[in-house]
Copies of this chain bind each other. A is one copy, B any other.
Amino acid sequence: MTSRKSFGSDNHAGAHDAVLRMIAASNEGDAHSYGDDPWTQRATDRLRELFGAHGGVYLVFTGTAANILGISLLLRPYEAVICAESAHLNGDECGAMERVLGNKLLPVPSSDGKLTPDLIAGRLTGRGDEHRVQPRAVAITQVTELGTCYTLEELRALGEFCRAEGLRLYMDGARLANAAARLGCGLADLAAHADVLSFGGTKNGAVGVEAVVVMAEDLAGSVPYQRKQQMQLASKMRFLAAQFIGLLEDDVWLQNARHANAMAQRLAAGVRGIPGIELLHAVESNAIFATMDPRDIEPLRREWGFYVLNESGHVVRWMTAFDTSEADVDAFVASVRETALSRV
């Protein structure tokens, strides 16, 4: 890692000061283990309230684990999950769904990373046929893996479609804060149509913590056992809780997300018009996808360390974080411009 700000991923950033301060503050005296402590009570009470989550809020270690635990509440063994082909759940969790839960995913190609009622409807074949897995849940990501953001209207439409079709709706919210910042709405508004969702702390400035938010009370009974069995029960859970307490106080989480989104907008504005660069998706959170002249990519990547996504070698992803500064963005844009122009 160079000392330059990374645009490779929002998890290249460290932890926000408020998070580390609260971890230190929670390190006073003894506390019961496994979540039976006042810090966990405080964090989950507050999250429960923010989301309107009647089934409670449960802390786990990673985004993959949050997805698996959340979805495990919704399925019987022969039921399947419809998701976008680009979903983290499908392509970036090393088959945790298939191994840990044993359920099948039914991925749908989607150019912008979003599902729609129509795309889902195309996967609802074979219902009632014993030879086929039965579609039972829909998993969306908000904001998506391509940096796009469902509108509240789109979420409402998905929720209504799922209810009408007897499907459960799961929302991967590893970057849900960025959606709230983008839409200017509350977390409860985002969660209103989901049955279960995750709320990511890690990419928002935590050391490492995610929340599984269970909206419906009748889904919650098995969570404690499933969480333990899925190896996600922290013994000193106060240290997970403290991270969320740090993020929630003074709306640090929202400021962090707003800032990261704003830096992405600044970056997008900066590179527009640079020869050979074309943005691929709407920039609606803290990720930018662009095509570049392949010859420009390698020198820039060596210096700045971002990902080159596809096989053809000319699609890149740039991400901003809560601690990306305007100067960082400007320096990166200058470097991109310089590389592109030097070749012309």
- A-to-B contact residues, CB < 8 Å: 1, 3, 5-6, 8-9, 11-15, 20, 23-24, 26-34, 37-38, 61-65, 68, 72, 76-78, 80, 91-100, 102-104, 125-126, 130-134, 202-203, 207-208, 222, 224-236, 238-240, 305, 311
Our pick among B3, B78, B202, B231 for the contact of A236 (Cβ within 8 Å) is B202
For the complex, would chain A's binding face be called helix, strand, loop or mixed by DSSP majority? loop
A27 to B1, CA, bound (A): 14
Which residues in B have their C-beta under 8 angstroms from that of A15?
27, 236, 239
Asked whether, in the complex, the Cβ of A1 is within 8 Å of the Cβ of B31, the reply is yes
Minimal Cβ-Cβ distance residue in B for A222: B76
Which residues in B have their C-beta under 8 angstroms from that of A234?
61-62, 208
Asked whether, in the complex, the Cβ of B62 is within 8 Å of the Cβ of A1, the reply is no
Asked whether, in the complex, the Cβ of B29 is within 8 Å of the Cβ of A3, the reply is yes
A72, A234, A305 interface centre (most CB from chain B within 10 Å): A234
A21 to B221, CA, bound (A): 38
Asked whether, in the complex, the Cβ of B208 is within 8 Å of the Cβ of A92, the reply is no
A239 to B77, CA, bound (A): 28
A1 to B311, CA, bound (A): 52
Which residues in B have their C-beta under 8 angstroms from that of A5?
30
Counted per complex, copies of this chain come to 4
A12, A28, A34 interface centre (most CB from chain B within 10 Å): A12
What is the distance, in angstroms, from A89's C-beta to the closest C-beta of chain B?
A: 11
Asked whether, in the complex, the Cβ of A239 is within 8 Å of the Cβ of B98, the reply is no
Query: Considering the complex of A and B, which 10 residue pairs feature the smallest CB-CB distances, nearest first?
Result: A78-B225, A130-B224, A99-B102, A65-B231, A11-B235, A94-B228, A14-B27, A95-B133, A95-B104, A6-B30
Asked whether, in the complex, the Cβ of B31 is within 8 Å of the Cβ of A99, the reply is no
What is the distance, in angstroms, from A280's C-beta to the closest C-beta of chain B?
A: 18
Minimal Cβ-Cβ distance residue in B for A321: B30
Asked whether, in the complex, the Cβ of A229 is within 8 Å of the Cβ of B78, the reply is yes
A24 to B93, CA, bound (A): 29
Q: A11-B236, A14-B28, A14-B29 are in contact. Are A231 and B231 (CB under 8 A)?
A: yes
Minimal Cβ-Cβ distance residue in B for A223: B130
